[in-house]
A and B are shown apart, each in its own frame.
Chain A
Amino acid sequence: QVQLVESGGGVVQPGRSLRLTCGASGFTFSSYGMHWVRQAPDKGLEWVAVISNDGKNKFYIDSVKGRFTISKDNSKNTLYLEMNSLRTDDTAMYYCVKDLGGGSSSLDYWGQGILVTVSS
């Protein structure tokens, strides 16, 4: 079955960096686009970034452009989110999410999430 396991979260000071990692299994990782979606404490879901199956195409929400970088290593079945110049409003649970694929723009499998807290 599909499994997505995030790691790398924690408490970090404003302006610092953090790298999230998501290990994937149970599907052909190289065939699917992948996303990061976040949820601030007691708030709703917010899409953050997407990367195409081959890693060539990437899109970001405006608030993270120039600060966050999404990447994937198909040889390691791993998705990454490099987060620089972190701000307090980046505090959230970050979910690694698989794209449904097949031309459908939906998010079919979610990891359990990893908490990122940006605080001085």
Chain B
Amino acid sequence: DIQISQSPSSLSASVGDRVTITCRTSQNIRTYLNWYQHKPGESPKLLVYATSILHTGVLSRFKGSGTGTSFTLTITGLQPEDFATYFCQQTFSDVFTFGGGTTVE
């Protein structure tokens, strides 16, 4: 299986901050990388797919970038509703795998 190392596992931030989360994969996955946001008790929400394409309704303060084995989710101008756990997912291989998650608190 393709392993994903996501960092940091948690970070402390304030409203208005710029936040960067990184995922590194154990092999080249081109741009088959998705990002999700999850709040406790809620359903996870798709933010970005194919590395950089914002899902419908996702605001432009979220930005995904990268290729190959290194990917980044950047939140510019953190808002109160953005405090959550974020995780990445690769869909390059038949066995989809996820990063360990980053909690923004």
Q: Do A and B bind each other?
A: no
Query: B residues engaging A (CB < 8 A)?
Result: none
